Chain A
């Protein structure tokens, strides 16, 4: 994965939706961790797929990349790779800065 840009440029009109969006992403981290703990690759695949769609739409391109990584690794049942993507995702969420335009 290319260098992560920790600044998300979000459309001004989405501003009201962002607090819930971020809250849901943090919940997603918990869900992903529970799923990897249970070895539930189907669930990991579904969550990854959903992240792929929603990240870019809101202006958080790295979330889509993490989602793709999780989905692809889950398809291969590659636990280590999935774990790496989850960690990167959690790190991103803790650092991301939002700029509204």
Chain B
């Protein structure tokens, strides 16, 4: 019969230099349905435990060569074997040996002559403890995997799979980034689909959803490619952030490149839609940089990882002002990207007072060469 019962799977290593004592202990354990292997010296015991770890070690203290205490100490100091229960077998009333055994990390003791009832009771107790500990450990590991998976699921709504993996891999440090609100300099990019309201009035509803999905796919893929975090998709507008949750080398340049890719990728789609539906669409983008509050905002029923602050509001206002295929940026973003964008593609729009803000800010428009189709907006 090849079926292995649970009891047979419990493996005890008996370490005793006296072959009769070893055989006696092994027999008693086997009678309880356990598997028992015998070795007769300390070095063989250490080697066996390291290479083929048992569930429990019954270890004689008095052996020629390496003593039971030394073996016990050695096994308890190794991370891979420290949790294996060790029962030291000492002489009757040998309290000195027991003290040394406790110091060496022994889990329990048996006195010679070994009484079978005592041996079985002690091994069974340790087995129960060991099984409970194993069960708790496997539950803890399963919970950890589940928790990481939940976090991965949550954050893959906001970030690229690569960034989600980095967050998971960086758990501990990055945990706090998501759990606690904090401030950071963030580049906020708002994008909005222009002309879409007119399109929805004249297009069948199923097709409208398809078109929106196509649009958001293009924009979110561009965002992921530039390591952006997607914070919100509402109606036909999208908010993404850079330099969050992890600092980036040049977040303003990344935001500009992302905006550029959004426009160039969307342009042929808009051209196709125009042919199909006869209505022109385009994307307007606003980018602004500044200190924002980052955190989970909402009610216990609905939480959203988001960014709040003037930079976000200003990016939204700039997006509203942007014409189709225009990228409007604040002066701080301009300062960061002026060396990487050809001067001919940037134009000052002067001081603009944005709705909701007391002071005007300098606004620049970046033109993205689209290569023909769709550039008319």
On A, residues with C-beta under 8 Å from B are: 11, 13-14, 17, 20-21, 24, 46, 49-50, 52-58, 64
Residues in B52-101 with C-beta less than 8 Å from chain A: 62, 64, 89, 91
Known contacts: A54-B18, A55-B113, A57-B113. The answer to whether A49 contacts B24 by CB under 8 A is no
Which residues of B in the span 25-48 have a Cβ within 8 Å of any Cβ on A? 27, 31
B60 (CB) vs chain A CBs: closest residue: A53
Chain B, residues 107-126, CB within 8 Å of chain A (1/0): the string is 00000111010000000000
A57 B31 Cβ-Cβ under 8 A? no
A72 to B: closest C-beta gap in Å: 12
Which chain B residues lie closer than 8 Å to A55 at the CB level?
113
Chain B contributes a number of interface residues (CB within 8 A of A) equal to 17
Answer whether residue B23 sits at the interface, using C-beta atoms and an 8 A cutoff.
Answer: yes
Inter-chain contact B112/A52, CB cutoff 8 Å: yes
A20 touches B21 (CB 8 A): no
Given contacts A54-B24, A58-B24, contact A49 B91 (CB under 8 A): yes
In the bound complex, residues from chain A placing their C-beta under 8 Å from that of B114 are 53, 57
State the CA gap A49–B62 with chains docked (Å): 9
Can you sample 9 A-B contacts with CB below 8 Å?
A: A13-B31, A17-B27, A20-B20, A24-B19, A50-B17, A50-B18, A54-B18, A55-B113, A57-B113
CB proximity to A under 8 Å, residues B227-265: none
Docked complex Cα distance between A80 and B116 (Å): 36
Q: In the assembled complex, how far is the CB of residue A39 from the closest CB belonging to chain B, in whole angstroms?
A: 19
Which of A13, A52, A54 has the largest count of B CB atoms less than 10 A from its CB? Answer: A54
Given contacts A24-B19, A53-B18, A54-B18, A14 and B24 within 8 Å (CB-CB): yes
Residues of B within 8 A of A64 (CB): 113
B27 CB contact (under 8 Å) in A13, A24, A52:
A13
B354 to chain A, nearest CB (A): 90
A96 to chain B, nearest CB (A): 15
Closest chain A residue to B24 by CB distance?
A: A57
Contact indicator A53/B64 (Cβ below 8 Å): no
User: B111's closest neighbor in chain A, by CB?
Assistant: A53
Given contacts A17-B20, A54-B113, A56-B112, 13 further A-B pairs with CB under 8 A are: A13-B31, A14-B24, A17-B24, A20-B23, A50-B17, A50-B21, A52-B91, A52-B112, A52-B113, A53-B113, A55-B113, A56-B113, A57-B21
Q: How far is the CA of A58 from the CA of B19 in the complex (A)?
A: 13
In angstroms, Cα B31 to Cα A93, docked, is: 28
